[in-house]
Amino acid sequence: MKKVKQILSIMASMAVAMSFSTNALAADITTNTNEQLVIDYLESINSGDWNNWVSFFAPSVQDDYEMFVSNESNLQNNTGILTVNSVDVLSVEKVDNSYAPKVYPELMEYFASESTYECYKVDMDTDVNQDNGYFSDGISSHLVILVKDNDEWHIGTMLGCPDELNDANSLSSISARKGYGFCDCGSEPSTIKVMDETGYVDPAGVDFQDFIVNVTCNEIGNEGYDTEALKANIMAVKMCGWWAVEAEYRENFGCDIKNGDVNYRSSLLTTDKNTEIVKDAVSDVDGWRMVSSSGTGGKLFFAAYYAGSYNDSGKGTGQLRQNGSNYLAESLGYDWKEILHYYYDGSSHNNPDVGTVQITNS
């Protein structure tokens, strides 16, 4: 009997040790610094203090969030994450950095190094004021991107969770997902939700053609570009916006795209004469679309663009140079289709290879 008691005593000690070890492991998981940062960020919503929520973001990206949460119309309209009353974080899991969409201008400096950003899949249970298409009652999955700024980790952004992350057998298949890669191309959208430079998001969205005119006017409308270059830029703006409607990468703001991604503003910066020139060029390419031809074919992709220099650099990069497009038109005689092929053919910016892009009039 004494021997049995000794054995039972040893087994009890082992059980306590195993229990302690298990609890310690659980504590390590739940108190991992960056995972805890994600939890604290999301559950800060429960206090109702949106300024505190904003404070979790990297200092370099806080301004837009401050404008957004301080806009009374956004609050009243339950726009984006502002509709959420409470959050219960159910799980946090670190995932591969390849899931970070390379479409956020404010985060590109962090994406330059694998050591300055991390991606986390989050499952959470939310209670909302009203379902706004981005957040609703119940359990949902999201992707949170952390960025390292001055040796400290902060929130970079949050977006819809890639479908592949909900299927352990398809984690290696990342050719199409929210915020990254190809999207199905249906009919041209009639409206698009945009956040302007004041932080306001019209809950009804804006007319898609008006969006194209607005962005083109405010990007290059007063630059006096050659007509062919102007049309190429209009197509880039159109396809960038069209992709954004499908990609769902700005869920926090409750919009498809925002000022900063493109130069959409509450008013036009162009003269009346230049506004009419832009409108005429938009009308000339109405009905045209540009999609991929590689692999799946006929897919929307992120038609990136930026100012660039007045030269022929950037061929095949997937990023149109605005000033470069004017150089191609003025100095080399390219038409607008040739300009699009020059920059986008064979490119893989934020997506697999698009092949030779298809430019068609539907």
Q: How many CB atoms sit inside 10 A of residue 307's CB?
A: 12
- Give residue 27's pLDDT: 38
- 336 and 195 part of one domain: yes
Domain membership of residue 4 (yes or no) is no
- 350 and 252 part of one domain: yes
Which tens digit of pLDDT belongs to each residue from 104-157? 999 999 999 999 999 999 999 999 999 999 999 999 999 999 999 999 999 999
334, 314 Cβ separation under 8 angstroms: no
- 162 and 197 part of one domain: no
- Give residue 69's pLDDT: 97
- 207 and 293 part of one domain: yes
- 206 and 272 part of one domain: yes
Query: Can you read off the two tokens belonging to residue 75?
Result: 């609050």
CA atoms of 283 and 302, how far apart (whole Å): 22
Domain membership of residue 287 (yes or no) is yes
Domain membership of residue 246 (yes or no) is yes
154, 41 Cβ separation under 8 angstroms: no
CATH classification of the domain holding 109: 3.10.450.100
Domain membership of residue 179 (yes or no) is no
Residue position matching structure tokens 């062919």: 228
Structural domain containing residue 53: 33-167
Domain count, the chain: 2
For residue 322, give the nearest of 199, 208, 240 by alpha carbon.
Answer: 240
Residue position matching structure tokens 């009890």: 12
- 249 and 122 part of one domain: no
Which tens digit of pLDDT belongs to each residue from 209-267? 999 999 999 999 999 999 999 999 999 999 999 999 998 899 999 999 999 999 999 99
Which tens digit of pLDDT belongs to each residue from 305-346? 999 999 999 999 999 999 999 999 999 999 999 999 999 999
27, 36 Cβ separation under 8 angstroms: no
Domain membership of residue 184 (yes or no) is no
